[in-house]
Structure 1
Amino acid sequence: MSIPPFKLNGRIWLEIDEEKVLGHGRVELLERIHESGSIRQAALQMKMSYKQAWDLVNHINNGFKQPLVISKRGGKGGGIALLTPFGQEVIGEFKELQQKFFRFLDKNGKK
């Protein structure tokens, strides 16, 4: 029996206590928050509800020992959301791990 040609594929998820905390989409959300300074703007850019984005940010923050995003409620001009230095570090580590994973797939995944 011969195995037909195949290609490996996959995605990286960081899990803490068996709970998915960070993956590609959530990293994109964090990056958009960093660029815009706003959870609402990031949600709009990603075509998701503000509540869904807020829930994801809370889930991410609760998964780590310190927050990746801090937010301040706004008045007339609205609130602000900032990626913490720790959040920037986590994103950098995630992207580095993701690149290693892609290199592994490219090297080993074509049969």
Structure 2
Amino acid sequence: MVVRVKTRVWVDKDGQEIIGPGIYNILKALEETGSIASAARKLGYSYKFIWTYIKKLEDVLGVPLVESRRGGKERGVSELTEVGKLLLSYYENMNKEVEQVVRAWEGKFTELLSHLDQYVSKPSREEEEIPYYEEE
């Protein structure tokens, strides 16, 4: 028997999403690839989608998350700001803690479900007579 507790974690501010699985993946891909275009290709999104998503989040937070530099051999570089890196780090740490709680509860539910037979009511030797009810 395999028991799984499923969760999705995101953080919002005044009803606006700050970070969840989607923006985490975008920021992580940007950190790994060093460019918005490469992150977009890696995730299968358009450049405009990624750029718009990041700009919307920057507007909500009021601080930049990405710094971009044009030109050069590498055709430009985009890097996460300190706040962008902190968002990734906090989200990763929060998810690790949530995962520990999830594993503990999976164990508790596994234990409960493996002993459900003790909660099955035993049939009595005499069958209970069901009273006859007639509608008026």
Judge same fold: TM > 0.5, yes or no. Answer: yes
Structure 1 stretches of 4+ with a deviation exceeding 4 A read 73-77
Contact 1:21 1:59 in 2 (8 A): no
Q: Are 2:37 and 1:40 aligned?
A: yes
One-letter code aligned to 1:102: E
Report the alpha carbon displacement of residue 6 of structure 1 after superposing the two structures with TM: 5.4
Q: Does structure 1 residue 58 correspond to structure 2 residue 55?
A: yes
Q: Deviations over 1:24-69 (max 9, x none)?
A: 2311211221222210100000111111111111122222232221
Shift of 1:89: 1.5
Structure with the largest fraction of strand: 1
The reply to whether residue 78 of structure 1 matches residue 75 of structure 2 is: yes
Higher RCO (Cα < 8 Å, 6 or more apart): 1
- Number of residue pairs aligned between Structure 1 and Structure 2: 107
User: 1:98 aligned to 62, 71, 95, which one?
Assistant: 95
Q: CA deviation at 1:73?
A: 4.6
Whole-Å Cα distance in 1 between the matches of residues 50 and 17 of structure 2? 16
Partner of 2:19: 22
How big is the alpha-carbon RMSD for the aligned residues of Structure 1 and Structure 2? 2.2
Mark the runs of 5 or more structure 1 residues left unpaired by the alignment.
none
**Bigger Cα Rg:** 2
User: Helix, strand or coil for the counterpart of 2:8?
Assistant: coil
Q: Is the 8 A contact 2:19 2:87 kept in 1?
A: no
Long gaps (5+) in structure 2? 110-136
CA distance, structure 1, for counterparts of residue 73 and residue 32 of structure 2: 21
Q: Residue 11 of structure 1: SS of its match in structure 2?
A: coil
What CA deviation, in whole Å up to 9, does each residue of 1:62-92 have, x standing for no partner?
2223222122455886332110122111211
Matched-pair contact (CA < 8 Å) for 1:33–1:39? yes
Question: Which of 94, 104, 108 is the matching residue for 1:107?
Answer: 104
Further displaced range: 63-72 or 86-95:
63-72
TM-score under structure 2 length normalisation:
0.68
